[in-house]
Amino acid sequence: MSTDRVSVPAPADWHVHLRQGEMSELIAPHVKQGGMSLAYVMPNLSPPVSNAEQAASYIKSLEALAPETKFLGTMYLGPELTPDEIRKAASLGIRGVKSYPRGVTTNSDSGIEDYDVYYPVFEAMEETGMVLNLHGEVPSDASKGICVLNAEARFLSHLEKIHARFPRLRIVLEHATTRAAVECVRRLGDTVGCTITPHHLALIVDDWAGRPINFCKPVAKTPDDRDALQEVIREGHPRFFLGSDSAPHPLASKYPSPASVGSTHDFVASCGCAAGIYTSAILLPLCATILESFGALDKLEAYVSANGRAFYGEPAPAGSEITLRRASSKIPDAFVHPKHEDKSDADATKLQVVPFWAGRELTWEIA
């Protein structure tokens, strides 16, 4: 039976990048526009959000930009995080600590190399109920046979080890992309959750190889891996939920040109396109469209609201339903900061962000 309207209580995005400066001005209001009531915000700013005070003041700056959205803050796992700092952060309402292995993605240069030294921090997190959010990839190292395609599978032993040592610590394996990760999280206890992005429910390797707009970390994997992600969402497994990993980059960073990088030499030497896919502004209709495409529309509420809210202990506020109606709507080609609207598209300084599936049709819209 096909429905024409779907209502979901207070959708929540448990992994989103909202940046700083002009980028933040442009996209913080998009969280609500995309149908989300709550955003759990990543700390990989430049420099990273590395202590309790910085996290609290970052959340205040987001609230000023988008007063109707509830923002929950995180800190970047690093040397400033002592057990005392964790207790201070918990008292300020900061909810989690994000760990990035060094060098695996955007602004991860100060990421960690070894988890054992953080065990006293994890202990304080366990005590205070703070969540450990793991970017689940090990750094590429050809001498050990590690590359972007197996970096997540090779990470899973770290997850298992931390969980075995701290069984009461809530841990989220972020943006899982592989069957191995899904099976691993299924095997572990109730304190281990897993976010799955809508784009990883749609993409495979072929979609990003040669197409910077679909390039993100971790990279999308094989059709079988994508099937495993779809299966666990179709099943409505309670520990798997939405974290969009919406990660905007200016178009000039996704598609660098010699002019934007400085010289042909620098361009050829460096040409890495930025990793990240932008979905905040279209998120709920995108999730509905993608879930319906693999027969899981009846699990939309579990995916975007119930499961993540239960894991984090953040029940949906009363009267907070949002309704989608079946209607074809075109995804915008780009979102441009108002201060940059007069610039030409060729201007490398123009702040414009191209969303996932730009120009394509969604089959649901917010009513």
Looking only at residues 122 through 161 of this chain, which bind ligand DOR when binding is defined by CB under 6 A?
135
For the bound state, the minimum distance from the C-beta of residue 295 to Zn ion, rounded and expressed in Å, comes to 27
CB of 49 to Zn ion, least distance (A): 13
Q: Which of residues 35-94 bind ligand DOR (CB under 6 A)?
A: 44
The pattern of x and - marking residues 238 through 267 that bind ligand DOR according to CB under 6 A reads -------x-x--------------------
For ligand DOR, the closer of residues 34 and 136 by Cβ is: 136
Contact with ligand DOR (CB under 6 A) among 74, 99, 106, 279: 106
d(CA 62, CA 70): 9
Give how many residues touch ligand DOR by CB under 6 A.
Answer: 11
d(CA 248, CA 219): 16
Question: What number of other Cβ atoms are within 10 A of residue 68's Cβ?
Answer: 9
Compute the radius of gyration of the chain from its Cα atoms: 20
**Residue whose CB is nearest to Zn ion in the complex, by number:** 245
**62 beta partners:** none
Q: Which two tokens stand for residue 76?
A: 């970047």
Q: According to CB under 6 A, which residues from 171 to 200 bind ligand DOR?
A: none
Q: Taking CB under 6 A as the rule, does residue 216 contact ligand DOR?
A: yes
Instruction: Answer with the entry of ligand DOR, Zn ion, none that 30 interacts with (C-beta below 5 to 8 A by kind).
Output: none
Nearer to Zn ion, 38 or 261 (CB): 38
End-to-end CA distance of the chain: give it in Å, rounded: 20
Give the count of beta carbons closer than 10 Å to the beta carbon of residue 138.
Answer: 19
Contact between 245 and Zn ion by CB under 5 A: the answer reads: yes
β-pairing, 171-174 vs 240-242, is: unpaired
| Closest CB to ligand DOR among residues 19, 299 | 19
* Interface with ligand DOR, residue 17, by CB under 6 A: yes
301 binds, among Zn ion, ligand DOR, none (CB under 5 to 8 A by kind): none
Q: How far is the CB of 42 from Zn ion (least distance, A)?
A: 5
Judged by beta carbon, residue 253 or residue 289, the one nearer ligand DOR is: 253
3-state secondary structure of 13: strand
- Parallel/antiparallel/unpaired status of strands 192-196 and 171-174: parallel
* Among candidate residues 59, 2, 8, 7, the one with its CA nearest the CA of residue 307: 8
User: How far is CA 11 from each of CA 184, 252, 258, 285, 287, rounded to the nearest angstrom?
Assistant: 26, 31, 41, 11, 11
Q: Which of 293, 286, 274 is nearest to 330 (CA)?
A: 286
Q: Which is nearer to Zn ion, 9 or 195 (CB)?
A: 195
**Among 95, 179, 217, 239, which residue sits at the site for ligand DOR (rule: CB under 6 A)?**
217
CA separation for the pair 280, 246 (Å, rounded): 6
d(CA 319, CA 332): 30
| Shortest reach from residue 25's CB to ligand DOR, in Å | 17
Which of 107, 104, 81, 111 lies closest to 94, judged by CA?
A: 81
Q: How far is the CB of 242 from ligand DOR (least distance, A)?
A: 16
Binding stretches for Zn ion (CB under 5 A): 245
Binding stretches for ligand DOR (CB under 6 A): 17, 44, 105-106, 135, 216-217, 245, 247, 275-276
